[in-house]
Amino acid sequence: MFTNMFFMRDNYKIVMLKKSCNFNLEVIELYNELLLNGKKPIADRILSSAISGSGNLQRLLHISKGRELKKATEEAIVNFKNVIYWIEQCVKSGYWFDEKLLKDAFEILDFCQRKEFVY
The pLDDT tens digits of the residues spanning 22-76 come to: 999 999 999 999 999 999 999 999 999 999 999 998 888 777 667 888 888 899 9
Confidence of residue 12 (pLDDT cuts 50, 70, 90): confident
CATH code of the domain covering residue 57: 1.20.1440.60
pLDDT higher than threshold 70 for residue 116: no
- The range of the structural domain enclosing residue 85 comes to 2-118
Contacts of 92 by beta carbon, 8 Å cutoff, 6+ apart: none
Split into its structural domains, the chain has a count of 1
Residue 11, sorted as left (phi over 0), alpha (psi -120 to 50) or beta, turns out to be: alpha
pLDDT higher than threshold 60 for residue 119: no
What pLDDT does 9 receive? 61
- Of 39 and 97, more confident: 39
Confidence of residue 99 (pLDDT cuts 50, 70, 90): confident
CB-facing half-sphere around the CA of 37: CA atoms within 13 A = 14
pLDDT higher than threshold 50 for residue 4: no
